[in-house]
Amino acid sequence: MKTYKLSSGYEMPLFGLGTWKAVQEDELYNAVREAITIGYRHFDCAKIYANEAVVGKALNDAFRANEVKREEIFVTSKLWNDSHAQGDVIPALQSTLRDLGLDYLDLYLIHWPVCFKKGTEFPTSTDDFIPPENLPISQTWQGMEKAVGQGLAKSIGVSNFSIKKLKELDKTSKIKPANNQVELHPYLQQKELSEYCNANNIALTAYSPLGSMDRPSSLKPENEPSLLEDAVIARIAQKHNATPAQVLIKWHIQRGVAVIPKSTNFNRLKENHDAQFVGLDEPDMKKIASLERNFRYLTGSFFTQPGSGYTLENIWDEV
């Protein structure tokens, strides 16, 4: 499997398994065990997905069964928005490690540039938010740097960060973020952000690469465009005797971007893994580039109640 050498010196596999919304425990457990058998070596987790104990059980059972060694897999998790205070980072990470049954993470990310009061999973009122000016990201990052110092995370990074926020972080950070995990697919190609990350040795990971169709209905407007039904993607898939999902996945790997499609279905796990064997050519890449429409499936609007201190403008730093 292709890897990306992170600025920390560690290698991150360019293909992994997403675990958001995988809430049915047996299904997720079996999916992780099956994924390991198929050849998955990168698992994307987060505290807020509320399923790290299940992922951890599956990983540890696979270690005990000698199917894979800890050092052969790459595990990412993410700091939730309620633990941004510098002193809350290590306890949050330790809690994630306990859930996963691991001694260290390969990568720990700040999940969103949004802060909640301690104990808030999802805000129900504006009182649950801490406005950005009251808890600068530089303080959270100092907690992240301590995680590396204590050997709890091999690499650290961010998620949903704009160029402006990466530049801000650069002014005070001792350890540079190794990774920025963002929504990325042919309808949201993030050209400038990709160029900035490439130039600054920040690996990109693409989330929601297939369009995140299983999002809760509250986060899913009607009539959104479907990547998997896109006619251009379908024609390229047909040409290579592949599926649209495989084209969407391989597009990232071919560009040196990590991609973490979620599935708990055995056939789709295999299909997605085998995307790495599809070879897209230059005309395919050009046709896919032409699909840009600056469209986000995950808009971030769930964080922008009036009075929260957060707006779409100050989350994405776009006008």
Q: Which of 159, 184, 160 is nearest to 259 (CA)?
A: 184
Which are the contacts of 97, defined by CB distance < 8 A and separation ≥ 6?
Answer: 103, 104, 105, 152
Give the CA angle between residues 220, 31, 10 to the nearest 5°.
90
Q: Is 51 in the site for ligand NDP (CB under 6 A)?
A: no
Nearest to ligand NDP by Cβ — which residue? Answer: 18
Binds ligand 1BO by CB under 6 A, chosen from 46, 62, 100, 242: 46
Q: How deeply is 299 buried, as exposed, middle or buried, from its count of CB atoms within 10 A (0-12, 13-18, 19+)?
A: middle
Name which of 25 and 127 has its Cβ closer to ligand NDP.
25
Name which of 33 and 215 has its Cβ closer to ligand 1BO.
215
Site for ligand NDP in 241-260 (CB under 6 A): 245, 260
Residue 213 touches which of ligand 1BO, ligand NDP, none (Cβ within 5-8 Å per kind): ligand NDP
Give the CA angle between residues 138, 111, 98 to the nearest 5°.
105
Which are the contacts of 270, defined by CB distance < 8 A and separation ≥ 6?
Answer: 38
Name which of 20 and 141 has its Cβ closer to ligand 1BO.
20
Name which of 197 and 282 has its Cβ closer to ligand NDP.
197
- What is the C-alpha to C-alpha distance for residues 233 and 247, in angstroms, rounded to an integer? 7
Q: Is 315 in the site for ligand 1BO (CB under 6 A)?
A: no
Confirm whether 187 is a catalytic residue.
no
- What is the C-alpha to C-alpha distance for residues 246 and 244, in angstroms, rounded to an integer? 5
Among 29, 40, 49, 207, the active-site one is 49
Main-chain dihedrals φ then ψ at residue 210, nearest 5 degrees = -105, -5
Binds ligand 1BO by CB under 6 A, chosen from 14, 15, 16, 20: 20
Please give the positions annotated as active site: 49
Residues binding ligand NDP (CB under 6 A): 18-21, 44, 111, 159-160, 181, 207-214, 228, 245, 260-265, 268, 271-272, 298
